[in-house]
Chains A and B, each alone.
Chain A
């Protein structure tokens, strides 16, 4: 276990290093990406541009610039080119919003995906199964920006059932306001995953239900309910739980950008999207590392949980 953790930590550090170098390099070579020109305002003289370059260290070689930026990032001094605001502070401010969105949606899509998958697996091939299949495919194929925009317009704006966007922290508006603002984003973000998970759970349950040990369980004379939960579901959810961890990391690490934008949640994803359009490298770097961190972290957690769920798997 100790060696496993050390190896995984080293791996995580390496992945984040590679991701950050690549991201920085992309912006370095991107045409129109020269931050000095962008910062100098309208009709800059070459002198001004050069002065900015010198001031921000933009005349240094690539690796020096990279190291400077990483140093600033990890000491919390990183400032964006565009608004000159504290990048780390913005991320710390946006992270709770992104977490609230991702955690809520992940719980919803797991619960709904498992319920629907089980529902269609129990009478596979029947009419209910087919209805769920069609709904799942619709859910999978509907883009978040379309679904989000429709939901926000009708449910939020036109009918006024729920707020059409924004985010209210619990400390400001109380639990109910916080919840009201998140219900739609949760459902919109979860829709795609519910579709995918219901299909995966369905096929996983169908694989398991004919396994020999399920027959053994029935032969013991235990209730059908116990056969389904302790023997069928317990085994068929192992791959689903691991996938869930990975998808949760993906949503934290950028998968919720569209949802955040559509509903104006101003989380890390929304900040990322805004920074990209301004080619603002410091926040982009910071958010990319934020996302990469959670993706690799969740990967490691998934491996550990997998070993806990399935005694045949050993961490080594």
Chain B
């Protein structure tokens, strides 16, 4: 397949935080590429390092207690080693971000219009009136009714869903090449979630913005993602296309994740399925495969460091970190292919 040059190329990203209890290895050896217009979903449970990865790309994890390794090249700029000023010129302009909680992500004391204008004027030399007109257009585009009036409202006058639309409008205000959405729908009602996702999908269609969607909600993933990266304890344990992950999952952790989706069109199980045990401490991680202590299929090789590589002969893009052979995996996983997924026509609607 012909692949355009990646827009963002993350290689061996490593993020450590020094804390009183020891060094937290929040992100460890994370590599992925993002191509123009692509939607990459980063999934995993809380503490898997998915948000830290996203924030690190924006430079939002920089602090005296953080150390970074690896590279994340956006075109010609390495976001990891960039100076604060270089990074400032890029964020909001080339990479924009929407956060998890729209209720607290907007400054309560400034009008929403002014908050978006602030971002536009940080990167472009436009007059107040011009910037304001642009904000009204942006707000209209994300489905805010009577945008010309609402532009002067304060955040508390908006509902959560409306605020998330404002955040999307803000993120899109300078036509970024990449939009990072960190659990954009987690804090919202289910009906609003669907609207916000539709908004993001429309946006990608219209502008060709590549999206990194950080989430733990596999339903959201199926709706919008092209490719998926599954993270566990700071590492990507499996990555591939939507279909590869949903129909031929290779890593036992991915099986667990997929098995924990509840479906209203299936018979209700006695208990919600879950992965036994809890994620390891990121200060003192198990040797080799980090999922080993929770894995039912553990064997001798699991104490060896598993590289993220393609283990299926003819799908180079489908990579994982499990030592089992492909045949063993396919035989052992409890979830029959297709059982978990959504019907494929529903997947990329």
Contacts and interface: CB of A to CB of B under 8 A. Distances in A.
B154 interface: yes
Interface string B49-76: 0000000001110000000000000000
16 contacts: A212-B101, A216-B105, A216-B107, A217-B118, A218-B60, A220-B119, A221-B88, A221-B90, A221-B91, A221-B93, A224-B84, A309-B109, A310-B109, A311-B156, A312-B108, A312-B156
Interface of B: 58-60, 84, 88-93, 96-97, 99, 101, 104-110, 118-119, 122-123, 154, 156, 167, 170
Given A218-B58, A220-B170, 15 more contacts: A213-B104, A213-B108, A215-B105, A216-B105, A219-B96, A220-B119, A220-B122, A221-B89, A221-B90, A221-B93, A221-B123, A223-B122, A224-B88, A231-B107, A311-B109
A311 B118 CA distance: 19
Contacts of B107: 213, 216-217, 231, 234-235
Contacts of B99: 212, 215-216, 219
A220 B91 contact: yes
Interface in A282-316: 309-312
A235 B104 CA distance: 13
Given A218-B60, A222-B122, A312-B156, A213 B91 contact: no
Which of B58, B92, B107 has the most chain A CB atoms inside 10 A of its CB? B107
A93 interface: no
A213 B115 CA distance: 10
Contacts of B123: 221
B118 A222 contact: yes
A212 B109 contact: no
Contacts of B118: 217, 220, 222, 226, 230
A311 B105 contact: no
B154 A219 contact: no
Nearest 9 CB-CB pairings of A with B? A221-B92, A220-B119, A212-B104, A213-B107, A220-B92, A311-B154, A221-B91, A222-B122, A212-B105
Contacts of B119: 220-222
A211 interface: yes
Contacts of B167: 216
Nearest to B64: A123
Contacts of B84: 224
Contacts of B96: 219
A234 B230 CA distance: 40
A310 B106 CA distance: 14
A221 B171 CA distance: 11
B60 A215 contact: yes
Contacts of B110: 230, 234
B308 to A, nearest CB: 28
A117 to B, nearest CB: 19
Interface in A207-243: 211-213, 215-224, 226, 230-231, 234-235, 238
Nearest to B91: A221
Contacts of A234: 107, 109-110
A240 to B, nearest CB: 14
Contacts of B90: 221
A224 B91 CA distance: 13
B110 to A, nearest CB: 8
B97 A219 contact: yes
A235 B108 CA distance: 8
Which of A215, A216, A231 has the most chain B CB atoms inside 10 A of its CB? A216
Interface in A187-223: 211-213, 215-223
Contacts of B89: 221
B80 to A, nearest CB: 17
Nearest to B101: A212
Contacts of A309: 109
A224 B104 CA distance: 20
A311 B59 CA distance: 31
B88 A223 contact: yes
A234 B167 CA distance: 20
A308 to B, nearest CB: 10
A23 B93 CA distance: 65
A242 to B, nearest CB: 14
A44 to B, nearest CB: 66
Contacts of A212: 99, 101, 104-105
A304 to B, nearest CB: 16
A162 B278 CA distance: 70
A222 B116 CA distance: 11
Contact of A211 (B60, B91, B104): B104
Nearest to A234: B109
A213 B106 contact: yes
A31 to B, nearest CB: 55
A238 B108 CA distance: 12
Nearest to B87: A221
A310 B155 CA distance: 12
Nearest to A213: B107
B100 to A, nearest CB: 8
B105 A221 contact: no
Which of A211, A219, A224 has the most chain B CB atoms inside 10 A of its CB? A219
Interface in A62-100: none
A235 B107 CA distance: 8
A133 to B, nearest CB: 19
A211 B99 CA distance: 12
Contacts of B154: 311-312
Contacts of B170: 216, 220
B109 A219 contact: no
B45 to A, nearest CB: 21
B105 A213 contact: yes
Nearest to B156: A312
Given A221-B88, A221-B92, A216 B106 contact: yes
A309 B101 CA distance: 24
Which of A220, A309, A310, A312 has the most chain B CB atoms inside 10 A of its CB? A220
A312 B111 CA distance: 11
A225 to B, nearest CB: 11
Contacts of B93: 221
Contact of A235 (B92, B109, B156): B109
